[in-house]
Structure 1
């Protein structure tokens, strides 16, 4: 796997990037990790950063082995305004990353599904935590954030009716983005995201199958479903995620590209390398 940029050069690029007019910048951190930056006054947020080897360290026998090193160290996110977590799986909610991010700075707000607040507070010691609830919008600097229920592979709620799996609709500087987290496609999700009218969607394309399910690897939408979902909700740009980090849970991204070329040749997309920047203009 080619890494576009990493470490200090990547951090310098993030800090030095200046956005003007109706635009935003975002970076691929690998797996489902995305960093998004608007104008300087908008700040920047990060979604689902897995920037450690904690899965392998906790269980050396695991089949989940990183295919490449993290593009940033966790402390490099200490100036983030918020870190959004979609659900509790280790490659999305990585306590090793969150502990290190909060070690020298209380700046990042941790946004997690409401049922996970007490666990995250206990594991990280961070008291600056927002419990995200489906369809309840909130503001962090220039970002309007609306959590939406995700189904990985079904909708799950706690005893208070709060969803354990979320995606996030984000609006900053006039640009609307949707990060699905881990999910399959449902009619409810199509309707919710279609109403949001996203310009950019970040969607998993690794799919699922019997053999992975039999090893308790929970499925996602496939490359075909991600494309059809994007068309159904009217997305301008598709950014596929969640297919690159773990060789045991991949699908070939060439299938995604081929399906678009065959069925929707005018649909915009971009395959991002880890550590790559993309600037999106309205």
Structure 2
């Protein structure tokens, strides 16, 4: 499977030429949980969980985690990035090869869950690392960001009480976005996201089961839970993620669409392909 939309320099030219104005935001699907966000020129460019290499399978040729499609861009092409948000330490979210290449000759800010800072220190200058902590807000250019805890599948903290798995509330150009990272649904998550009232939510739909768990594959929301969760918290647009890259850890997105059709027929959603751009206007 190749990227159906743009890739490489063609995609990056599209990113640079995309102009965003009042109460709008553009985003590109990088595959798995990777999202590239752009507001106005003053807001800048933000990337979430870029897995833009084959480092998992190159490090372990026998792994069952093999990409179903090539990276839509090389990480070194993201030279215009103002910041990177990492949700947690799994290799398809915190890809050190991608981090290293993005950081090379770039002054991007990297927000990393506080317990994982040591993993990136040899690749990113200290002044460009932000230790993301539960409930704390920070800005990257025009993006206002708040970290919230994620349960993948439990809440995990270090000795200082800092969460190892995070999601992010993002506000830019009048739009509120929520990237959940890898998580299951919890009462605490429902409460926090309902209060935030996101216009757009990027949510995993691949779920989990006994046999994947027995092989060390940690679960997420199922397609049903992602739909029910979105209805419970009042999401305007759902963008499913984390179902497309690895054949061993997929879910058929048609099940998600069918469930919405039967239970929430007025719920807006969009299924993205790798390299695709979407412009959301409030």
Tell me how far 1:103 sits from its aligned partner: 1.6
1:148 aligns with 2:130: no
Tell me how far 1:213 sits from its aligned partner: 0.2
User: For the residues of structure 1 that align with 2:103 and 2:77, how far apart are their CA atoms?
Assistant: 11
Tell me how far 1:117 sits from its aligned partner: 1.2
Judge conservation of contact 1:152–1:165 (CA < 8 Å) in 2. yes
Paired positions, count: 280
Q: Which runs of 5+ in 1 are unaligned?
A: none
User: For the residues of structure 2 that align with 1:78 and 1:11, how far apart are their CA atoms?
Assistant: 10
Structure 2 partner of 1:77: 78
Instruction: Give deviations 1:152-200, integer Å, cap 9, x for gaps.
Output: 0000000000000000000001100000000000000000010000000
User: For the residues of structure 1 that align with 2:134 and 2:151, how far apart are their CA atoms?
Assistant: 12
User: For the residues of structure 2 that align with 1:243 and 1:234, how far apart are their CA atoms?
Assistant: 23
Q: Counterpart of 1:40 in 2: which secondary structure?
A: coil
User: For the residues of structure 2 that align with 1:260 and 1:230, how far apart are their CA atoms?
Assistant: 10
Structure 1 partner of 2:254: 254
Q: How does 1:37-56 map to 2 (within 5 A)?
A: 37-56=38-57
Instruction: Give deviations 1:49-87, integer Å, cap 9, x for gaps.
Output: 000000001100000000000000001112100000000
Question: What root-mean-square deviation, in Å, do the aligned CA atoms of Structure 1 and Structure 2 show?
Answer: 0.8
Q: Please, what TM-score do these two structures have when normalized by structure 1?
A: 0.98
Q: How does 1:1-282 map to 2 (within 5 A)?
A: 1=1, 3=3, 4-105=5-106, 107-122=107-122, 124-127=123-126, 128-282=128-282
Runs of 4+ in 1 over 6 A off after TM superposition: none
Q: Counterpart of 2:70 in 1: which secondary structure?
A: coil
Q: Counterpart of 2:77 in 1: which secondary structure?
A: helix
Tell me how far 1:20 sits from its aligned partner: 1.1
Instruction: Give deviations 1:259-279, integer Å, cap 9, x for gaps.
Output: 001111110000000000000
Q: Please, what TM-score do these two structures have when normalized by structure 2?
A: 0.98
Judge conservation of contact 2:30–2:50 (CA < 8 Å) in 1. yes
Tell me how far 1:119 sits from its aligned partner: 2.1
Judge conservation of contact 1:2–1:273 (CA < 8 Å) in 2. no
User: For the residues of structure 2 that align with 1:76 and 1:230, how far apart are their CA atoms?
Assistant: 34
Tell me how far 1:145 sits from its aligned partner: 0.1
Tell me how far 1:2 sits from its aligned partner: 5.3
